Structure 1
Amino acid sequence: MPYAVWSLIILALIGANIPFLNQRLFALIRLKNSSSKKSFWLRLVELAVFYCVLGGVAYLLEANIGNVFTQTWEFFAITVCLFIVFAFPGFVYQYLRRQ
């Protein structure tokens, strides 16, 4: 069980930073105008998709361990905020570092 929790945290750190560390869509698909950078809005969409995928992985891990507990809006508000905090290093690398 502790390995599932730590692996989920590491996956969250990686998933939150992937949109900011490369110029490909979901780190796989090359965009048509590859000379320019991805827009900030596209990075936010990627971040939301990675959050949903990671939520699915967390749900499967919880179901594998035992009973799945129902979650209310407070749980999702906290996990979204935590996921955004995990994305901070990638955001700093992409937008705030000196060129």
Structure 2
Amino acid sequence: MNQSAAIWLVLLAALVAANAPYFSQRVLLVGPKPAYKSAGWRLLELVLLGLLTLGLGFALESSQGQRQPQGWEFYAAATCVYLVFGFPGFVWCYLRRKRNAP
């Protein structure tokens, strides 16, 4: 896999992972389906999927060559991008209007 394809794969994985907690009603995406899934579960899923996406990026970088050390700036920027990727799911889950609302 070339470097460009690896970058697009990580970005696509981040986009899907950032929105998955909001579109799935199951606990940790595969567990039981409660009547209402709290925001705490969604936040936990968001963090865990973000760490998995980061791990995928590190693995692809290692397969391309030597992995470069990153400072706190990289992690801060990656977190912000990941949260922005999750915004459409957040809007769908929490901010959309209910059809039967008065």
1:59-81 superposed Cα distances (whole Å, 9 cap, x missing partner): 00000001110011111011011
Task: Output the amino acid matched with 1:62.
Answer: E
Cα distance in 1 for residues equivalent to 2:69 and 2:27: 32
| Aligned residues of 2:18 and 2:86 also touching (Cα < 8 A) | yes
The TM-score normalised by the length of structure 2 is: 0.90
Matching residue of 1:44: 43
Q: Which amino acid aligns with 2:73?
A: E
Runs of at least 5 residues in structure 2 that lack an aligned partner in the other structure: none
Q: Would the aligned equivalents of 1:51 and 1:83 in 2 still touch at CA under 8 Å?
A: yes
What is the root-mean-square deviation in Å for CA atoms of aligned residues?
0.9
How many residues are treated as equivalent by the alignment?
A: 96
TM-score between both structures, scaled by the size of structure 1: 0.92
Offset at residue 24 of structure 1 (A): 0.6
1:26 is paired with a residue whose SS is helix
What is the match of residue 54 of structure 1? 53
Residue equivalent to 2:15: 13
Specify the alignment match of 1:30 in structure 2: 32
Which has more radius of gyration?
Answer: 2
Q: Shift of residue 7 of structure 1?
A: 1.0
Shift of 1:41: 1.4
4+ runs of 1 displaced by more than 2 Å?
none
Task: Structure 1: state its 5+ residue gaps.
Answer: none
The percent identity for this pair of structures is 38
